[in-house]
Amino acid sequence: MTRLLLAALALGACAAHAAAPAPLWTAGGLANPDSALYSTQQKVLYVSNINGEPNAKDGNGFISQLTLDGKPIKREWLKGLNAPKGLGYYFGLLYIADLDELLEVDTGNGRIKRRLKAAGSKGLNDIAVTSNGTVFVSEDGGNTIWRLQGDSFAPWLRDPALEGPSGLLFDKGQLLVASFGVPKADGQGAESSYLKTVDIATKAISARFLPIPLGNLDGLASDGKGGTVVSDFTRGNVFRIGADGQPNLWLQLTPGTADLGTAPGLLLVPQRLENTLTAYPLK
């Protein structure tokens, strides 16, 4: 019996015994929320709202501000966007992945400072920002990871082995990637995929632990204990993966579970099709 099969069997066993935490709060009144980000400087939650078709340039998208307990501060803090998805933050600057643009916003006044074009992009997705302010952005449809460094915003890595890169996370000098999956031959959705690691120095792509297909992965966040939490957009599952690579089915939600965020002691889960953001205890 192969290691991959053994790992798959272990996954099933873990899923059957994983204890699901009860939600702490749910914020409604959102419009196809995709990503949630907590600013430790401002003590504010930012939520991206697609508010329409996920690939439409319709100007309906907006960013909401919420309190840490899910209360609305300003529903349309920044509006007139298209289909905003991933969010990133660096010293007062909010980065927004909006289809073929990366927006840099001054959170002090809510104004867009820069619009950085991703020429030829098939849809920017998630964002990860390094400690020195370098911004990486995934593009799942183009198997590309873009990089903003200073004034240069350009493809950093383009490789079919990324298998639809969606969620991004930095971990110990490496870039973790949650892959949505390769499109199916019949054009109906995508094959299940898994977590990958990209070496920042060499750009080498490898499986994160064993390549166990978990689903059409979207959100990716640290659990604060050396492990990660990842969401399956198509099925609504949320997995918690320990530092040893052992995956546990942690939450079974509805389809549309999108880009995960964290705040002190909380996992933030946007439900795009439910128009909600829910907080779960992350212990």
Interval 52-85: pLDDT, tens = 999 999 999 999 999 999 999 999 999 999 999 9
pLDDT number for residue 7: 42
Report, as an integer, the average pLDDT of 266-279: 98
Mean pLDDT across the chain:
93
Work out the average pLDDT over 255-273: 97
> Vertex 85, ends 131 and 74: CA angle to 5°?
90
Q: Is the pLDDT of residue 3 over 60?
A: no
Q: What per-residue confidence (pLDDT) applies to 18?
A: 59
What are the backbone angles phi and psi of residue 173, rounded to the nearest 5°? Answer: 80, 5
Q: Is the pLDDT of residue 15 over 50?
A: no
Closest CA to 164 of 186, 137, 193: 193
Mean pLDDT for the stretch of residues 123-140 = 96
What's the CA gap between 33 and 126, in Å, rounded? 13
pLDDT for res 10: 41
Residues 141 and 123: beta-carbon distance below 8 Å: yes
Does residue 235 sit in helix, strand or coil?
coil
What single string gives the DSSP state of each residue in 95-150? Answer: EEEETTEEEEEETTTTEEEEEEE-TT-S-EEEEEE-TTS-EEEEETTTTEEEEEET
pLDDT confidence of residue 115: 97
Q: What pLDDT is attached to residue 12?
A: 47
**Considering only the top CATH level, what class is 3-281?**
mainly beta
Give this prediction's pTM.
0.93
Percentage of residues in the chain having pLDDT higher than 90: 90
Q: Within 10 Å of residue 29's Cβ, how many Cβ atoms? A: 11
**Enclosing H/E stretch for 25:** strand 25-27
User: In which band, very low, low, confident or very high, does the pLDDT at 14 lie, cut at 50, 70 and 90?
Assistant: very low
Torsions phi, psi of 14, nearest 5? -65, -40
pLDDT digits (tens, 9 = 90+) for 145-170: 999 999 999 999 999 999 999 999 99
- Judged against a pLDDT cut of 80, whether residue 16 lies above it is answered with no
Residue 17 has pLDDT above 90, yes or no: no
- pLDDT per residue as tens digits for the range 212-242: 999 999 999 999 999 999 999 999 999 999 9
Q: What is the mean pLDDT of residues 22-33?
A: 98
Contact 280, 24 (CB under 8 A): yes
SS3 (DSSP) at 76: strand
**Per-domain residue ranges of the chain:** 3-281
DSSP code string of 201-234: TT--EEESSS----BSEEEEEE-SSS-EEEEETT
